[in-house]
Amino acid sequence: MNVNVIEASGLGKRYGRTWALRECTLAVPAGHVTALIGPNGAGKTTLLNLAAGLASPSAGTVSVLGGVAAGSRAALDGIAFVAQDTPVYKNLSAADMLHLTATLNRRFDKPYARARLAELGIPLGRKAGKLSGGQRAQLALTVALARRPKLLILDEPVSMLDPIARHDFMANVMTAAAADGVSVVLSSHVLADLERVADYLILLSAGQVQVAGQVDDVLASHRMLTGPAAEADTYTQRPVVHARRGAAQAHLLVRATAGDPVPPGWEAHPVGLEELALAYLREPGAVALPGPARSRQAEQSEVIR
């Protein structure tokens, strides 16, 4: 079953005169951990806010969980959102947060939440304001997961956390994805850990989508060619995303597959996710979109035609 947890078409959001997000068209499939990456100010938070229903579009549409309107009752029910800086009420204890979230939602797995907090060593009675940053983030994540959502949206969840807290946080997210089939969309401007974690990638830069696709497909469709700098400018066999030059040697990130011919004297290597992302971020005009997976309706209408 091909369901898209987030589907956007021409989505745009404007604040005053500035477009924070423009012409955003993508389809994030269910059952994946999607990394939304891009520099600060790229529009990641805007996109996630639109998906979570905290903002409404200035242009285009966005739907979630297989065609449900973002922000609608069903969307709120099925999506758990953990905003940047993982907001929790500072004068509420962890137990209060559990009770609060249970009261505000249809589903809440309190035993699971308590067990998780116990595992993490977070005392139920202490006020959230007195917890460490990592513990607050874990608390926010716990109440989100205990809602048993279909989609978990995390906005820069680990940027404030130390390495151990970061690892524990991501381990818990990944376990939920594994055990309960939760789809995850998380944004980050830290690229290093993403290759381990993400299997779907959206690269956002200056409010526009540059890359959107399965990580495997994206990596398989790019190669790094290394060869003489003199020939770099005349290379036209495949689209060049980004070029780096020394005096004698040049590296070209091209859109090509393993089977594509390599010019004589050149070497071809596969590209890692971090390198690829950096290259695209350095070339705002470059776009690599395999095309969003159509919704079933679109496919059916094509068959009829």
Cβ-defined contacts of 73-77 (< 8 Å, 24+): 77/105, 77/106, 77/107
Structure tokens at 163: 């390495």
Q: Which of 69, 71, 72 is nearest to 61 (CA)?
A: 69
If the CB atoms of residues 91 and 249 are measured against other proteins, the closer one turns out to be 91
If the CB atoms of residues 191 and 287 are measured against other proteins, the closer one turns out to be 191
CB of 114 to other proteins, least distance (A): 18
CB of 285 to other proteins, least distance (A): 28
Q: Tell me the C-alpha distance between 100 and 94, whole Å.
A: 10
If the CB atoms of residues 79 and 286 are measured against other proteins, the closer one turns out to be 79
CB of 245 to other proteins, least distance (A): 22
If the CB atoms of residues 192 and 304 are measured against other proteins, the closer one turns out to be 192
CB of 42 to other proteins, least distance (A): 16
Of residues 167 through 186, those in contact with other proteins by CB under 8 A are 167-168, 170-175, 177-179, 181, 183
- Give the alpha-carbon dihedral of 47, 65, 102, 114, to 10 degrees: -90
Structure tokens at 77: 């029910």
60 binds other proteins (CB under 8 A): no
If the CB atoms of residues 181 and 239 are measured against other proteins, the closer one turns out to be 181
CB of 7 to other proteins, least distance (A): 11
Are the beta carbons of 69 and 11 closer than 8 angstroms? no
**Residue 4: strand, helix, or coil:** strand
Tell me the per-residue interface mask from 98 to 137 with other proteins, x by CB under 8 A, - otherwise: -xxx-xxxxx------------------------------
Q: Which of 31, 32, 24, 33 is nearest to 51 (CA)?
A: 24
